[in-house]
Amino acid sequence: MSTGKPPSRAVEKTLRDMGHEVIVGVDEVGRGAWAGPLMVGAAVLPPDRRVYGVRDSKMLSEPARERLFDRVASWCTAWAVGAASQEECDTVGMAEAQRRAARRAVEGLGISADHVLIDGNWDFVGTASTTRIVRGDATCLSIAAASILAKVTRDRHMRQEAEHFPGYEFDSNKGYPCPRHKMALHAYGPTSIHRRTWVFMEGLVWGRAGSRAAPRPWLPPPDTAGRPPFFRPISSSVI
């Protein structure tokens, strides 16, 4: 676990002094992945209690994030994770997919937000009262909590997907580019959870948007039920 300076409640305290009561920290995960959904976490923290060890999720190891998840979830006054599927990322574009996931996360809280704190330099939430904080996941406690909730939720989802697509090692790379993921794409082509309109597809024999420009590469034989390997149709989901 990181020993760096922990995120603070300074922004939340200032907003409470201004009269805001429900302050929501928001962070996204999965924007740079090649496969799987984009997810946005939303967290409302109690004003008088703290869970120690909370950091930006990127500064924590996977075991550390998993250990913190239940503690953070039970500590929050309210929390939710919203998702935009890989199909939405393809059809409406990444910016709109991020807005949809954020809207689902904030609506999933079950309470009305007075103010939303957003990690980064652009407002992908779109509510009337927001504050953008560059490196907010490292400096703002509610955003850091949201980052852990979103990251662990997405990691667990991708480990489940790895069971259906064993050649891609989604349990370890979580859909992000790495040498073995790239090798699997070149050998087998994109799965049903890949973002098929992304530029990385142009370097494959399968072509842009998943269309094949060359004969299909070798694939292992179907399973005992006659289903092709690695391919499983899924629909858009909201978490």
Q: What is the CATH number of the domain that holds 83?
A: 3.30.420.10
137 has a pLDDT exceeding 50:
yes
* Percent share of the chain, pLDDT over 70: 81
Range of 57's domain? 10-161
- pLDDT at res. 205: 59
Output the CA torsion sign for 189, 194, 198, 199: negative
Cite the DSSP H helix spans in 22-126.
62-75, 86-92, 94-108
The domain total for the chain is 1
The answer to whether 86 and 100 are in contact (CB under 8 A) is no
- pLDDT at res. 99: 96
Assigned domain for 142 exists = yes
56 has a pLDDT exceeding 80:
no
- Taking the C-alpha atoms of residue 8 and residue 140, their distance in angstroms, rounded to an integer, is 5
Assigned domain for 209 exists = no
Three-class DSSP category at 115: strand
Q: Which residues pair with 119 in a beta bridge?
A: 133
179 has a pLDDT exceeding 60:
yes
DSSP letters along 117-172, please?
A: EEESSS-SS--SSEEEETTHHHHBHHHHHHHHHHHHHHHHHHHHHHTT-GGG-HHH
